[in-house]
């Protein structure tokens, strides 16, 4: 049965159905020239479907008839999508020919949750080398786990992510997915160029919704990338490297939709279901008996306030947290990692080995002492410290300098060749300083 548009407010369209009401997350097609797509958000009493205008089509009119599509938002999947840039709805953004329907093309409803695995057992942790000293040492990159890169604007979140993509994707054993959620189009171009120059596009699928897109698409693009990663994990039995930049923008998009939908915010000012939405998305980025999804997610910190409730919640979903500091960035250290706030639940003898673990304990103790000594030095000067304290202070300064390195993805901008350090080289360099 057809429905009729009864009201239009910004991106919200209310459609009256006298019978055969649609399902939540079902697409509706407007009977106009553009065949405008509406996504059912929720149902009201009296057969009214509360819908979101997916493509921000402004040519809608009250009284126009609407047809049920009988399906949700389905994106194309398969080998033909590898090397392409797609939007949240699966449409190409790279100027290449559209993805034509064929027997090789599979389609997946992005909002349909996959079945839970009941016989999956966690395999022995496998460490993936990144070539970045501070990450390999303090936040080991473990297959099937999550790393969060937290920081304010301009401290190097995107550059760090691009370096991780560049260094880890070269192994060729995994398929990489990138979700650009509400970021600048310039950053999308830079990532595309980096992947193309390093011949990595053949193993990469990109989903992108830049910051000027409507909040519907920005809130869906991460979900679309996740759905695609799920398909290649479950159907193609692939190990996936999943990169998302930026998860906080996903929350911002959800907040905008919440305002449009006239929802009452929660205590922190965020949409009422924001934390459950994030939880559902994070749970989908998991491993099963078919394959693994290893994810790196950048998290923007508004006003450099790491205590923001949304930032804190996303942080709790991560196995490792890399905190990028403006204060460290101003000192010229790259990547600008705050060594005292950065942490990982994976830094255990069982995962990294006894040698690595014991070194990390010594390093963290030395860095904590360094922070306390800085306050003392500011008052009485370094010369007044005891010989032991002066020695530890000097070692800590050497450690901080040792963790700084040039990025390969910045070579084309600054002309300085990038560094890549094996995990063994990293451990040796630290031993030379503190042992």
Tally of CA atoms within 13 A in the half-sphere of 390 that contains its CB: 8
State residue 413's pLDDT score.
Answer: 80
Helix (H) or strand (E) holding 322: strand 320-323
State residue 321's pLDDT score.
Answer: 94
Domain with CATH 1.10.1140.10 in the chain: 352-434
State residue 228's pLDDT score.
Answer: 95
3-state secondary structure of 286: coil
> What is the CA 421 to chain-centroid distance, rounded?
24
3-state secondary structure of 75: strand
Domain with CATH 3.40.50.300 in the chain: 74-114+124-344
Q: Which residues, 6 or more positions from 278, have their beta carbon under 8 angstroms from its beta carbon?
A: 247, 250, 251, 310, 313, 314, 317
CATH architecture of 74-114+124-344: 3-Layer(aba) Sandwich (3.40)
157 is catalytic: yes
Q: Is 398 exposed, middle or buried (0-12, 13-18, 19+ CB in 10 A)?
A: middle
Return left, alpha or beta for 35; rule: phi > 0 is left, psi -120 to 50 is alpha, else beta.
Answer: left
Task: Render the burial of 322-348: b for 16+ CB within 10 Å, e for the rest.
Answer: bbbbbebbeeebbbbbbbeebbbebbe
Q: Which fold has domain 352-434?
A: 1.10.1140
State residue 183's pLDDT score.
Answer: 82
Among candidates 35, 56, 57, 44, which has minimal Cα distance to 15?
A: 44
CA distances from 62 to 3, 33, 59, 151, 377 (A): 11, 15, 10, 45, 71
Among candidates 63, 64, 68, 59, which has minimal Cα distance to 22?
A: 68
> Residue 208 pairs with which residues in a beta bridge?
180
Instruction: Kindly give the interhelix angle for 387-402 and 423-434, rounded to the nearest 10 degrees.
Output: 160
pTM, two decimal places: 0.91
Q: How far apart (Å, rounded) are the C-alpha atoms in residues 129 and 178?
A: 19
Q: Tokens 């009493």 identify what position?
A: 45
Among candidates 83, 53, 149, which has minimal Cα distance to 342?
A: 149
Return left, alpha or beta for 54; rule: phi > 0 is left, psi -120 to 50 is alpha, else beta.
Answer: alpha
Q: How far apart (Å, rounded) are the C-alpha atoms in residues 176 and 168?
A: 9
Q: How many residues does the chain have?
A: 435
Q: Which residues, 6 or more positions from 81, have their beta carbon under 8 angstroms from its beta carbon?
A: 99, 205, 228
Q: Profile the chain (435 residues) by mean pLDDT over runs of 10 residues.
A: 89 92 94 92 91 88 94 93 92 87 88 77 82 94 93 86 82 80 81 78 89 91 95 91 91 90 80 88 90 92 84 90 90 89 93 95 93 87 86 92 89 86 95 89
Parallel, antiparallel or unpaired: strands 175-181 and 204-209: parallel
State residue 53's pLDDT score.
Answer: 94
> What is the CA 401 to chain-centroid distance, rounded?
28
360-361-364 Cα angle (round to 5): 80
Task: Say which of 26, 74, 163, 183 is annotated catalytic.
Answer: 183
Task: Say which of 35, 184, 186, 374 is annotated catalytic.
Answer: 184
> What is the CA 199 to chain-centroid distance, rounded?
22
CA distances from 142 to 4, 150, 345 (A): 52, 18, 11
183 is catalytic: yes
Task: Say which of 84, 133, 157, 334 is annotated catalytic.
Answer: 157
CATH architecture of 3-68: Beta Barrel (2.40)
């Amino acid at each position: 049965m057809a429905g009729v548009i009864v009201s239009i407010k910004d991106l919200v369209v209310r459609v009256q159905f006298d019978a055969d009401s649609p399902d939540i997350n079902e697409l509706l097609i407007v009977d106009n020239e553009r065949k405008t797509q509406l996504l059912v958000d929720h149902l009201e009493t009296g057969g009214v479907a509360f819908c979101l205008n997916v493509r921000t089509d402004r040519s809608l009119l009250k009284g126009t008839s609407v047809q049920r599509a009988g399906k949700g938002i389905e994106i194309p999947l398969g080998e033909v999508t590898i090397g392409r840039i797609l939007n949240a709805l699966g449409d190409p953004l790279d100027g290449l020919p559209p993805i034509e329907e064929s027997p090789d093309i599979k389609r997946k409803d992005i909002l349909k949750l996959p079945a839970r695995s009941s016989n999956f057992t966690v395999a022995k942790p496998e460490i993936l080398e990144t070539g970045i000293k501070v990450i390999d040492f303090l936040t080991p990159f473990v297959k099937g786990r999550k790393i969060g890169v937290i920081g304010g604007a301009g401290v190097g979140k995107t550059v760090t992510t691009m370096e991780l993509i560049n260094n880890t994707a070269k192994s060729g054993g995994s398929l990489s997915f990138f979700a650009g959620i509400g970021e600048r189009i310039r950053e999308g171009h830079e990532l595309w160029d980096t992947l193309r120059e390093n011949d990595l596009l053949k193993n990469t699928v990109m989903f992108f919704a830049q910051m000027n897109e409507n909040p519907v698409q920005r809130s869906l693009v991460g979900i679309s990338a996740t759905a695609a990663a799920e398909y290649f994990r479950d159907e193609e039995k692939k190990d996936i490297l999943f990169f998302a930049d930026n998860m906080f923008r996903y929350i911002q998009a959800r907040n905008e939709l919440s305002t449009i939908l006239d929802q009452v915010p929660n205590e922190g000012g965020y949409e009422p279901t924001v934390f459950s939405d994030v939880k559902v998305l994070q749970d989908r980025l998991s491993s099963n008996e078919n394959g693994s999804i290893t994810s790196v997610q950048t998290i923007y910190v508004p006003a450099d306030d790491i205590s923001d409730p949304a930032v804190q919640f996303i942080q709790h979903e991560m196995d490792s947290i890399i905190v990028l500091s403006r204060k460290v960035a101003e000192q010229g250290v790259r990547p600008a990692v705050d060594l005292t706030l950065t942490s990982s639940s994976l830094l255990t003898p069982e995962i990294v080995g006894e040698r690595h673990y014991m070194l990390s304990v010594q390093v963290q103790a030395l860095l904590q002492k360094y922070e306390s000594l800085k306050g003392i030095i500011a008052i009485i000067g370094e010369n007044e410290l005891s010989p032991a304290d002066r020695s530890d202070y000097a070692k800590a300064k050497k450690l901080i300098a040792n963790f700084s390195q040039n990025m390969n993805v910045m070579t084309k901008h600054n002309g300085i060749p990038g560094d890549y350090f094996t995990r063994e080289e990293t451990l040796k360099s630290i031993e030379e300083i503190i042992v």
